[in-house]
Structure 1
């Protein structure tokens, strides 16, 4: 549960996750060449690795990496010293820019799953009173248990729908 609250803390958590990912990927890709900067080809490989990590580790739908043209354009914008390559700081700025929409989508999914679903569950609990057999069982459940069950159902439905995409 602590991990969930960390994710809801927002910008600080997101910045920490981006920094972890960028440090790991930059060191991995630049370590293969022995240089302290990335060319366009190395940068695109790094972008693919970052999006692979995002899709494996973070909740939400599958995110496609940007096209080579978009990477090239954004690379030119982030290349502060105009050497045609990105150093570590430029790379961090680049990754923050390229992933900003991705993290917004993830945050929205977490809000729906973890805040909206339990609220709706509690609000609709009273509606089950008239349902034979089910109504009595639902009314005997504590609100926290009922909200947790509905939230788990919403998360399962979201996961199933993502798997079918």
Structure 2
């Protein structure tokens, strides 16, 4: 993971220009293999690159740039002559390959939820209407509650941020 970030020039000691050229050449070769006739093809190719990053590298993932930035890159790339197209693509990738960062709310939810789920399960076992909760093993209940809490925290955070920044 750190090696890839070093290749991209995003932390750690900067790699040699030959190494960056090798990585970018491979990415561009994969990108240019696709038959790009319009913006949709270009957008799909960029999404494929980010999907490849995220599926190949364990752990942290990379955010896909906004559609407007991809459109701006497409217009630059489309208008550029032969050899300049590669430079436009390389500049776009090095600028927009950013790590997906967890916010504090997600981390806090992940820490607080398991003990809270155990407490809720213990209380729920004593409620007559929730006697069925005894049948669910702790090994299933706690991770399920944690995953649901993380999903709801992530979704509510996105909805809240979207309402603040329309």
The TM-score normalised by the length of structure 1 is 0.42
Higher RCO (Cα < 8 Å, 6 or more apart):
1
The TM-score normalised by the length of structure 2 is 0.42
